[in-house]
Amino acid sequence: MRVDTEPARRLLAWYDRHARALPWRSPPGAPPPDPYRVWLSEIMLQQTTVAAVKPYFRHFMARWPTVEALAAADDAELMSAWAGLGYYARARNLLACARAVAAQGGFPDSESALLKLPGIGAYTAAAVAAIAFGRRAVVIDANVERVVARLFALADPLPAARPALRALVDRVTPASRAGDFAQAMMDLGATICTPRSPACILCPLESLCAGKAAPAAYPVKAAKRPRPHRRGTAWWIERDGHVLLVRRPGRGLLGGMRALPSSEWSDSPDETPPCPAAWAAAGTVSHIFTHFALTLTVRAATVSADCEPPLEGEWWPVDTITEAGLPTLFAKAAATALQKEWHDRTTL
């Protein structure tokens, strides 16, 4: 393989001056950060912005400062701490991975060994190997895809172009400062080579970039399929200043999270209420999941003190509902129920 050293030379010189200061990073040229910090941040950053991740990362590090501490965490406590970050399978895999790492005495330092851990895919394995252990690895996220597709004016559409992109990233990845190079590529894509209105005049690779005349054309993307739309109902069951919350099944969407009782989510869900009550329409909320869009109708009722709905759950104080660790969808549903004037309706 022919290695092109000029892009890395320019990019690392730029990174030494302009690297973002992030709580999980070491400064350019400094010893690498603790693998735990790198791994935790990379899991959190999957399909989530840096701005959204920062407070969660700081909270996790304060609550669980080591991988051993995280391995000992209570499942429900961790899921509540994750609430709002989305993609909740990541949280379940996070705990499984922490326990596997603690059991074997620490993180392995190679991509192949990292790939054997729960919840670690090709990107995360490469990122941890490069950033935490200085291993030469081909680290490719969405920012890197965009930078390299433009740099080489790659005309093949994604996702079919990914093998070619990987070969091109491999071609420019240096043998030394692997972690700094990976983070420099990410920073360049996040701050200069952005999806819209890239600041090409500030880019250290500008004179090398084959796609600079039309950067918006790269990367080429295949046409998106329409996202299916599903419907459902969430039930706000209030009793004596408390609302009924249930725990969703451990597997599947929002698995293991506290939630309002809800119907199935489908094209034509069965919206039979979970118990007799004077149900009032409290509004609707919308949410976009990876593979479908959802509109959730919120129906609310106040039930009498001796009413026991046929659901396993817990009665949570309405005044502290924001502390229940509800995922974003159900936090929106709860806020909708609380904003509506339905409390004066007939109660059971």
| pLDDT tens digits, 125-163 | 999 999 999 999 999 999 999 999 999 999 999 889 999
Alpha helices in the chain (DSSP H): 6-18, 35-45, 50-63, 67-71, 75-82, 89-103, 111-114, 122-133, 142-151, 162-172, 178-191, 328-339
* pLDDT (average), residues 325-348: 77
* pLDDT for the residue numbered 222: 81
Which residues, including other chains, have CB under 8 Å from residue 163's CB and lie 6 or more apart? Answer: none
Which pLDDT belongs to residue 32?
94
In CATH terms, the fold of domain 6-217 is Endonuclease III; domain 1 (1.10.340)
**Residue of 334, 338, 226, 237 whose CA lies nearest to 279:** 237
Percent of the chain with pLDDT over 70: 97
Give the mean pLDDT of 165-174.
95
pLDDT digits (tens, 9 = 90+) for 229-272: 999 999 999 998 999 999 888 777 888 888 999 999 998 888 88
Query: Rounded to whole angstroms, how far apart are CA atoms 344 and 348?
Result: 12
Say how many CA atoms lie within 13 Å of 128 toward its Cβ.
28
What is the chain's mean pLDDT, rounded? 91
Residue 345: is its pLDDT beyond 70?
no
Burial class (CB in 10 A: 0-12, 13-18, 19+), 135: middle
Q: Name the CATH superfamily for 229-339.
A: Nucleoside Triphosphate Pyrophosphohydrolase (3.90.79.10)
For the chain, what are the domain ranges?
6-217, 229-339
Catalytic: which of 6, 42, 264, 323? 42
Q: How many residues in total does the chain contain?
A: 348
**Residue that is written with structure tokens 């001056």 in the block:** 17
pLDDT of amino acid 255: 81
pLDDT of residue 305: 76
42 an active-site residue?
yes
Are the folds of 6-217 and 229-339 the same? no
pLDDT value for 348: 45
